[in-house]
Amino acid sequence: MNVPAQWWMSFRGCDSNLTCQRNMTEAADGPLHMFPDVFNLLPSHCVNHLQQMKPRDGDNVQGRAAAHTRQRDFLLADRSILKPGKLGRGCLKHGSRECPVVWQPPANTEGNCQPLTVNFSGPTCLPWSVMGKHEDMAHCSMVSFHAWLAHVAAGHYDVVFLENAPGFKFRHFQRPMSKRYTVLKIVFGSEDRQPSRHLCQQSVDNNM
Ligand SMILES: [Zn+2]
């Protein structure tokens, strides 16, 4: 982003890939807090409940999709679990200390220029890819997507950017986000010729 360095602060990163974790943790201008997994942003009781709701061994496609739907509804029903001020566990920079999940703007900002809080994310794309057999709601990584979705749908960001696979089902993002945000879908490049094209939704909060 082409803005003066003093205008920009990276508050929190989250990535399950070890190389990405190392790059962000060691970068001089990297995030102040770095979490290794989206589940580190959730309270432990919430993670335990998600574990209880996960599909059983031998469940068919419909059964797995139903279990992931229940997990999604649970996460989206109680947005207080992901509000600013909540703490995450296992920050790679601060060890066992619990660290804030969301940056809170200072209360006494001078002038009329208020800081923006922005989330850039590329949550799991496996449910909508060849590698994930296009299983959509039946894919085991849907719980990761829904944990991320609940986090951004809670409404504490001014703008949210999502990048995902060409086969991504836009409704999964649009429906929960549209309660608080204006949701846009943007395709970079030709839809029919660029298999690696990106999908991006920009959301602007109308109600905060
Ligand atoms: Zn930390």
CATH number for position 100: 3.40.50
Cα(34)–Cα(14) distance, integer angstroms: 6
Taking only the tens place, the pLDDT of each residue in 25-66 is 999 889 999 999 998 888 888 899 999 999 999 999 999 999
On whether residue 128 sits in a domain, the answer given is: yes
Residues 6+ apart with CB under 8 A from 80: none
Q: Please, which pLDDT band fits residue 208 given cuts at 50, 70 and 90?
A: very low
pLDDT tens track for 135-171: 999 999 999 999 999 988 888 889 999 998 888 999 9
Q: Does residue 167 lie within any of the structural domains?
A: yes
- 137 is in which domain, residue-wise? 10-105+115-205
Instruction: Report the domain count for the chain.
Output: 1
Residues in the chain, overall count: 208
Q: Is residue 3 part of a domain?
A: no
Residue 97 located in a structural domain: yes
Report how far apart, in Å, the C-alpha atoms of 109 and of each of 7, 90, 114, 191 are: 13, 31, 7, 43
Q: Is residue 4 part of a domain?
A: no
Q: Has residue 161 been placed in a domain? A: yes
Q: Are 159 and 118 in contact (CB under 8 A)?
A: yes
Helix, strand and coil content of the chain, in percent to the nearest 5, comes to: 35, 15, 50
Residues with a beta carbon under 5 angstroms from ion ligand 1: 33, 91, 93-94, 99
Query: Cα(21) to centroid of ligand 1, in Å?
Result: 13
Whole-model pTM? 0.86
